[in-house]
Amino acid sequence: MCYRYFRILGIILLLFVAGCSSDDQQQEASVDNGEPYDITTLLATADPKKGAAVFKLCQVCHSLEQKGGFKPGPGLYGLFGRTAGTVPGFAYSKVMVDSQVVWTPETMDHWIEAPAKFIPGNRMVFVGVKKPQDRANLIAYLQAETKVASGSVDGE
């Protein structure tokens, strides 16, 4: 992945050099990724259907249904509002249990962007979803799919 990124950067730089462009244009080429954004704003127009496609990256390891059980990762049913590392019976890493993170759209956004950075030493082997809009779509999808039905007897 890194290799691809550098190759693209390399091509862009080459184009700039070939065109005898100034230095600030070269800088512009690398700004792309770190643009500021507001997850709440992105969520307002997020598309859960597109989020379902992003969830394909997660579904080998996570179920969404109430009785979905564990795959390599814990079930995500009832995710929003609960504290990280609290699904009974799942063998979480210690850092996950100790994190005290409460799952909200904001914490999920950071987690999915770079799990290893957000909770260092955790056991979820996943590199992260780079585009903020993809994450917003995924979060919108998860909000809809993992919601505990009102009146549900066991809210696990």
The contact pattern for ligand HEC, residues 75-114, with x = CB under 6 A and - = no contact, is -x--x----xx-x----xx--x------x--------x--
- Given a contact cutoff of 8 angstroms between Cβ atoms, the answer to whether 71 and 60 are in contact is yes
How far lies 27's CA from each of 14, 24, 58, 123, in Å? 13, 5, 34, 36
Q: Rounded to 5 degrees, what angle do the CA atoms 153, 154, 156 make?
A: 155
Residues 107-146 that bind ligand HEC (CB under 6 A): 112, 122-126, 129
By rule CB under 6 A, what string of x and - marks binding of each residue 28-67 to ligand HEC? -----------------------------xx-xxx-----
The one among 72, 102, 131, 155 contacting ligand HEC by CB under 6 A: 72
Residue 131: CB minimum distance to ligand HEC, A: 12
Distance of CA 145 to the CA centre of its chain: 16
Output the CA torsion 150→49→123→92 (10° steps).
Answer: 10
Which parts of this chain interact with ligand HEC (CB under 6 A)?
A: 57-58, 60-62, 72-74, 76, 79, 84-85, 87, 92-93, 96, 103, 112, 122-126, 129
